[in-house]
Chain A
Amino acid sequence: MSDAHESSAPPAPSASAPRSFWRGLAPWLALILCLAVPPFIWPQSWLLAYLAQTATMIVFALSYNLLLGETGLLSFGHAAFSGLGALVAAQVFNRVGVPLVLLPLVGGIGGALCGVLFGFISTRRAGTAFAMITLGLGELVAAAAWTLPDWFGGEAGVAIDRASGAPWGSWSFGPAREAYALIAGWCLLACVAMFALSRTPFMRVANAVRDNPVRAAAIGCYPRRIRCGVVVASAFFAGIAGTLALINVELVSTESVSMVRSGAVLIATVIGGTAVFFGPVAGAAVLTFFSVAVASVTRAWPFYLGLFFIMVVVISPDGLAGFAQRHSARVAAHGWRRCRAAYLWGMAAALLWTAAIVLTVQWAYAAQFGVDDGAALGGTGGMGALRWLRASPLGLGGAVLMLAALGGLPAHYAIRAQALLAARRSSASPATGDAR
């Protein structure tokens, strides 16, 4: 847990040129702006709750990426760390009365202690075996949370009153605004700490263990010890994330350790991309968007999320961050004028096909789960059209087919423009390109 002390390290890497310095700083500024500015513009409580969830998920996904991205360990039981850390924090807060400002640290230490125990068991094997062991451990904790008494307070969970602690200056943290400020502050602090951690020699060795454990062992580092250390560090930050969620909703329940949550953090991290530090941040934002914003509109959100996840895995296994990197490199190589056609046509095709899929899925969900759910699809404008579609499945089929066919046209142009770009690139330099 020495990484907690490194939180004062500067966020940007030592930059030689000012340009790359600003490029390294830009995501941080964007993150700070996204966390800090909206509450001043729209001070509604739902926005604060949404942003607090996003901030929590960001820390959670980044902690997960220490395992998946940096060390190549796929875990299916990451929620155990965050849930148990939050549980420790809740019990300590209720019994000892730690100031709320320091509570995430307590949760982190609780998570790290679980990490020591679980890491010792699970890191004997890497790869698929590690994934299955973490699955078993996650299920064990989830089942134990239901079964064992006075751990999780049964079905009700353990509640805290965040305003009951010692006030910090003039802040009691009772109002949502003050709690959100605390959560956002801790989120930034944890991000900086994890960024600093990812630049340490220890994490470089972890990267070596990920890429070639045999060679890493041959040069004298114990892969198992390294993996165990990473699990502990990751569990520490997961505990912080769990405690941030605890501060937000003032409750830790069996849901905090559930496999659903473990799956969610896996999905967020993979969607965002594991190879780039800020990938999981983007993935966390996407996941929270789906699970809160889309979920408020339609009950089909898990379907869309699953579809999006599969698309990301198939089309761009390095996630959104890898996708963005690849395409920004291409735009930089060709200039945006030449790429314009390909991207515009591609976007048109994607929009049309998305419309076709959404129409089909909404219709199916409305047919299965009742009329009220599909109604929110097109807002007020598309309502009449939607009602007509529901009345006639034939018309719906026709509309979907038409949309799909219309989408095929720009897709054709997009593929042609891509081929043109690839041809130009191969004539300019014999490097291999990825024309998709």
Chain B
Amino acid sequence: MQSFVINLLNGVSYGLLLFMLSAGLTLIFSMLGVLNFAHASFYMLGAYVGFSVAARAGFWSALVVAPLIVGLIGAALERWLLRRVRAHGHLAELLLTFGAAYLLGELVKLGWGLSALSATLPAVLDGPLFTVYGTAFARYRAFMMVVSLAMLCALYAVLCVSKAGLIVRAALTHASAVEALGHNVPRVFTGVFAAGTALAALAGVIGAPLFVIEPGMAESLGSIVFVVVVIGGLGSLGGALAASLLVGCVQTLAVASNLSLGEVLSMFDASLPAEWDALTLAQLAPLIPYLLLVAMLALRPRGLFGRRDDHV
């Protein structure tokens, strides 16, 4: 239990990473009405591009360059492909991003090979920051939290204070009126899509040292991000934040715990067959986000802060 604080901090940092991904996803969803299925692939692309840039120009420039490159790729996808299929409805757009995810996964395999890569940390960020009860909290995780929070504040400031944010928010709800005022709404869409993918790439660059860079990283994190977005309520930025922190903390705590399923159930006077009881919570950790999703849908189908829009 002494390491609870550290685990909680680790969980929060993981949750903030999840939020960086789900924020971009939510932004694109509420703007374009399409759930970008390729979002996690842009995360992966960001990690790979960041790896290549960091190998030549160092970690700090990768932090800037990789999101720019991936954001440009995202803008190109929106401009040349997504805009073409928009006339056919949201289903075609979702399918297009699904195909893009598929193709991006193959391109990454083609460009960087199948083997796993490991990103290197700059010396400043290596090592423990502080120790609580003998357990160290990594300096890098603190850096991750700082970047995520800074990104969150910047996003909030841009959306709520600046004029660009005003146009974006207006285009969300009254696209034709904004267009009539002389703003180029399709370009705003492209910009939002590019910003969302750039956020995903930033998360990729930052998250890469924590995980291994491999072609399967998009699938492993992607579905969790979608779960987060659904739990938080589709299109709600605050919900995405809450759900990210929830999923991040619960999953990290489950991985770190050494309880078994039988011990947990015995608290409720329940029991299962022996081989089920022997399962540890750490083994079950991959299931937890999905179980949370099912529980959430059973209790509150629109998610934490979702609107009741297409509830028919």
Q: What residues make up the interface of A, taking CB atoms closer than 8 Å to B?
A: 72, 74, 121-122, 124-129, 131-133, 135-137, 139-140, 143-144, 146-150, 213-214, 217, 223-224, 259, 263, 266-267, 270, 300, 302-303, 305-307, 309-310, 313-314, 317, 364-365, 368-369
**Interface check B311, CB cutoff 8 A:** yes
Q: Could you mark each residue 187-201 of chain B with 1 if its beta carbon is under 8 Å from any beta carbon of chain A, else 0?
A: 000000000000000
Q: Which of B29, B110, B290 contacts A365 (CB 8 A)?
A: B110
Q: Are B110 and A136 in touch, CB under 8 angstroms?
A: no
Task: Report B48 CB to chain A, min CB distance, Å.
Answer: 13
* Chain B residues positioned under 8 Å from A364 (CB to CB): 110
Q: Are B311 and A136 in touch, CB under 8 angstroms?
A: no
Q: What residues make up the interface of B, taking CB atoms closer than 8 Å to A?
A: 29, 34-35, 81, 84-85, 88, 90-92, 94-96, 98-100, 102-103, 105-107, 109-111, 113, 219, 223, 226-227, 229-230, 234, 275-276, 279, 283-284, 286-287, 289-291, 293-294, 297-298, 301-302, 310-312
CA–CA, A140 to B302, complex, Å? 20
Describe A's contact surface by its main secondary structure. helix
Closest A residue to B275 by beta carbon equals A149
Q: Are A128 and B35 in touch, CB under 8 angstroms?
A: yes
* Chain A residues positioned under 8 Å from B312 (CB to CB): 126, 213-214, 217, 223-224
* Chain B residues positioned under 8 Å from A137 (CB to CB): 290, 294
Known: A129-B234, A144-B287, A302-B106. A136 touches B92 (CB 8 A): no
Q: Are A313 and B96 in touch, CB under 8 angstroms?
A: yes
Task: Report B86 CB to chain A, min CB distance, Å.
Answer: 11
Q: Are B35 and A148 in touch, CB under 8 angstroms?
A: no
Q: Are A143 and B286 in touch, CB under 8 angstroms?
A: yes
CA–CA, A229 to B99, complex, Å? 29
* Chain A residues positioned under 8 Å from B287 (CB to CB): 140, 143-144, 147
Q: Are B113 and A368 in touch, CB under 8 angstroms?
A: yes
* Chain B residues positioned under 8 Å from A136 (CB to CB): 223, 226-227, 230, 289-290, 293-294
Q: Are B102 and A263 in touch, CB under 8 angstroms?
A: yes
Q: Are A128 and B90 in touch, CB under 8 angstroms?
A: yes
Closest B residue to A305 by beta carbon equals B102
* Chain A residues positioned under 8 Å from B226 (CB to CB): 132, 135-136
* Chain A residues positioned under 8 Å from B219 (CB to CB): 259
CA–CA, A148 to B311, complex, Å? 34
Q: Are A310 and B81 in touch, CB under 8 angstroms?
A: yes
Q: Are B103 and A368 in touch, CB under 8 angstroms?
A: no
Q: Are B290 and A140 in touch, CB under 8 angstroms?
A: yes
Q: Are A302 and B85 in touch, CB under 8 angstroms?
A: no
CA–CA, A224 to B311, complex, Å? 10
* Chain A residues positioned under 8 Å from B223 (CB to CB): 135-136, 139, 259
Q: Which of A128, A213, A267, A365 contacts B94 (CB 8 A)?
A: A128
CA–CA, A76 to B109, complex, Å? 23
A-B contact number at CB 8 A: 132
Q: Are A128 and B113 in touch, CB under 8 angstroms?
A: no
Task: Report A219 CB to chain B, min CB distance, Å.
Answer: 13
CA–CA, A27 to B308, complex, Å? 44
Task: Report A129 CB to chain B, min CB distance, Å.
Answer: 6
Q: Are A133 and B102 in touch, CB under 8 angstroms?
A: no
* Chain A residues positioned under 8 Å from B293 (CB to CB): 133, 136, 140
* Chain A residues positioned under 8 Å from B297 (CB to CB): 121-122, 124, 133
* Chain B residues positioned under 8 Å from A306 (CB to CB): 99, 102-103, 106
Closest B residue to A307 by beta carbon equals B103
CA–CA, A122 to B110, complex, Å? 36
CA–CA, A148 to B85, complex, Å? 42
* Chain A residues positioned under 8 Å from B91 (CB to CB): 72, 74
* Chain A residues positioned under 8 Å from B289 (CB to CB): 136
* Chain A residues positioned under 8 Å from B234 (CB to CB): 128-129, 132
CA–CA, A306 to B95, complex, Å? 11
Q: Are A131 and B35 in touch, CB under 8 angstroms?
A: yes
Known: A136-B226, A139-B223, A303-B106. A125 touches B96 (CB 8 A): no
Could you write out 27 A-B pairs with CB less than 8 Å apart?
Answer: A72-B91, A121-B294, A121-B298, A128-B34, A128-B35, A128-B94, A131-B35, A139-B290, A143-B287, A149-B279, A217-B312, A224-B312, A259-B223, A263-B98, A267-B102, A270-B95, A303-B103, A303-B107, A309-B102, A310-B100, A310-B103, A314-B81, A314-B85, A317-B85, A368-B110, A368-B113, A369-B113
The 6 closest A-B pairs by CB, nearest first: A140-B290, A306-B103, A306-B102, A310-B99, A136-B293, A213-B312
* Chain B residues positioned under 8 Å from A313 (CB to CB): 85, 92, 95-96, 99
Q: Are A127 and B103 in touch, CB under 8 angstroms?
A: no
CA–CA, A129 to B105, complex, Å? 24
* Chain A residues positioned under 8 Å from B92 (CB to CB): 313, 317
* Chain B residues positioned under 8 Å from A122 (CB to CB): 297
CA–CA, A256 to B311, complex, Å? 32
Q: Are B96 and A310 in touch, CB under 8 angstroms?
A: yes
Task: Report A431 CB to chain B, min CB distance, Å.
Answer: 19
Task: Report A286 CB to chain B, min CB distance, Å.
Answer: 14
CA–CA, A368 to B114, complex, Å? 10
CA–CA, A324 to B310, complex, Å? 34
